[in-house]
């Protein structure tokens, strides 16, 4: 009896010595599954405009559309995300990940541009003509007289503790002119 067991062990060792696919642990499979569910959830939570830019096949799009309508607090939503994860395991996800990266990069670029406009506005308010000259060199379309006028109006508003109307208008003017390029 023990002789048969030792033969079967030797046979299994020989079989395992043959080249096989790389074995992946059960916990690694679970991690991959969770990551794909998170990818699916990220796509589900996109705005409609961003969602439209993601390359999806019909089956996956239908599953994602269903998840977008389901109440997120219900158990059906969790199950739908699991199903989406299962569908994603059967596909090449690189086009989806690339599209999500573009959306993220676009968002970061928009934030950086917004912060740059805020810095330019603060420079015009605090430094006055020096900052205005620097902005005009960078953006020749800007009107020096209009920027000086905004500078004076903002200073008056700050002295009187008035609502920051000119402050906002200066930002909007800078945004309109600089983002035409």
Final residue belonging to a domain, choices 52, 74, 91: 91
| Shared-domain flag, residues 61 and 107 | no
Mean pLDDT of the chain: 84
In a domain, 3, yes or no: no
Number of domains, the chain: 2
| Shared-domain flag, residues 108 and 87 | no
16 has pLDDT over 70: no
Six token digits for residue 99: 């599209």
Final residue belonging to a domain, choices 52, 67, 91: 91
Six token digits for residue 8: 């079967």
Residue-level pLDDT at 74: 86
CB 91 within 8 A of CB 60: yes
In a domain, 104, yes or no: yes
| Shared-domain flag, residues 105 and 152 | yes
**pLDDT more than 70, % of the chain:** 87
Measured N-to-C along each axis, helices 144-160 and 129-138 cross at an angle, to the nearest 10 degrees, of 140
In a domain, 6, yes or no: no
| Shared-domain flag, residues 60 and 84 | yes
Count Cα atoms within 13 angstroms, Cβ side, for 176: 8
For residue 168, the domain's CATH number is 1.10.60.30
Instruction: Give the domain extent around 64.
Output: 29-91
In a domain, 14, yes or no: no
| Shared-domain flag, residues 128 and 172 | yes
Residue-level pLDDT at 66: 92
CB 139 within 8 A of CB 178: yes
Q: How does residue 10 score in pLDDT terms, banded at 50, 70 and 90?
A: low
In terms of pLDDT, which residue wins out, 51 or 1? Answer: 51
165 has pLDDT over 80: yes
In a domain, 33, yes or no: yes
| Shared-domain flag, residues 151 and 122 | yes
DSSP designation for 23: P
| Shared-domain flag, residues 86 and 105 | no
Residue-level pLDDT at 22: 75
Six token digits for residue 102: 């573009």
pLDDT tens track for 27-46: 988 898 898 889 989 999 99
| Shared-domain flag, residues 163 and 109 | yes
| Shared-domain flag, residues 85 and 125 | no
In a domain, 22, yes or no: no
| Shared-domain flag, residues 33 and 82 | yes
In a domain, 21, yes or no: no
């Amino acid at each position: 009896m023990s002789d048969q067991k030792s033969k079967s062990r030797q046979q299994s060792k020989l079989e395992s010595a043959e080249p096989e696919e790389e074995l992946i642990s059960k916990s690694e499979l679970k991690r991959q599954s969770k990551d794909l569910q998170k990818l699916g959830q990220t796509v589900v939570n996109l705005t409609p405009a961003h969602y439209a830019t993601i390359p999806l096949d019909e089956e996956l799009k239908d599953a994602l559309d269903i998840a977008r309508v389901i109440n997120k607090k219900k158990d059906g939503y969790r199950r739908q995300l699991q199903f989406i994860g299962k569908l994603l395991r059967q596909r090449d996800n690189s086009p989806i990940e690339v599209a999500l990266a573009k959306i993220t990069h676009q968002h970061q670029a928009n934030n950086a541009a917004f912060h740059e406009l805020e810095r330019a506005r603060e420079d015009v308010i605090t430094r006055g003509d020096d900052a205005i000259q620097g902005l005009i060199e960078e953006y020749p379309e800007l009107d020096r007289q209009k920027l000086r006028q905004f500078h004076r109006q903002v200073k008056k508003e700050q002295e009187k503790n008035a609502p920051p109307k000119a402050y906002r208008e200066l930002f909007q003017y800078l945004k309109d002119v600089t983002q035409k390029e």
